[in-house]
Amino acid sequence: MKFINLLTIAGSFLFASSSVLAWGNYGLSCANVKLTGNNILSATCKKADGSTGDSSLNLNTCFANRNGNLKCEPRGNYASSCSSCRLDGSTMRCSCSGNSRAYTNLSEPLRTLNNGSTF
């Protein structure tokens, strides 16, 4: 089992909906977190005005499969060589070529995103 710390993910990998607040921990302001199609992470998040909105992030822009290991890499396109990805709590689990299984902990990188206007 491999876990990687992805604290280096920059603000460019933020969720697409405007005015959604993360406040440093997406779990505090988002619900209904799900993974669709191996690579789209989506959630319903609280906005600055108190309303909620749907947000999504294409994880292909954040991760790459390097010999069966998921690595933080811009435009990594991991989903082209990984399958059966699922969320297990805050951990994404995938079967990736080069190894029978690859794991990355999503809780750490997404928890640290906070720009006050998008998630």
Question: What letters, b where the CB count within 10 A reaches 16 and e where it falls short, cover 41-50?
Answer: bbbbbbbeee
Give the integer Cα–Cα distance in Å for 92 and 35: 9
Q: Name the residue among 91, 102, 44, 42 with its Cα closest to residue 69.
A: 102
- Does residue 117 carry a pLDDT above 90? no
Q: For 31-44, what is each residue's pLDDT tens digit? A: 888 999 989 988 89
Q: What is the mean pLDDT of residues 69-75?
A: 85
Contact 50, 33 (CB under 8 A): no
Predicted confidence at residue 84, as pLDDT, reads: 87
Which SS3 state, helix, strand or coil, does residue 2 take? coil
What is the reported pTM? 0.66
Residue 4 pLDDT exceeds 50: no
pLDDT band at 10 (very low <50, low <70, confident <90, very high): very low
User: From CA 82, how far away is CA 46, in angstroms rounded?
Assistant: 31
Q: Is the CATH number of domain 11-111 1.10.10.10?
A: no
Residue 22's pLDDT band (boundaries 50, 70, 90)?
A: very low
Q: What is the per-residue pLDDT for 102?
A: 65
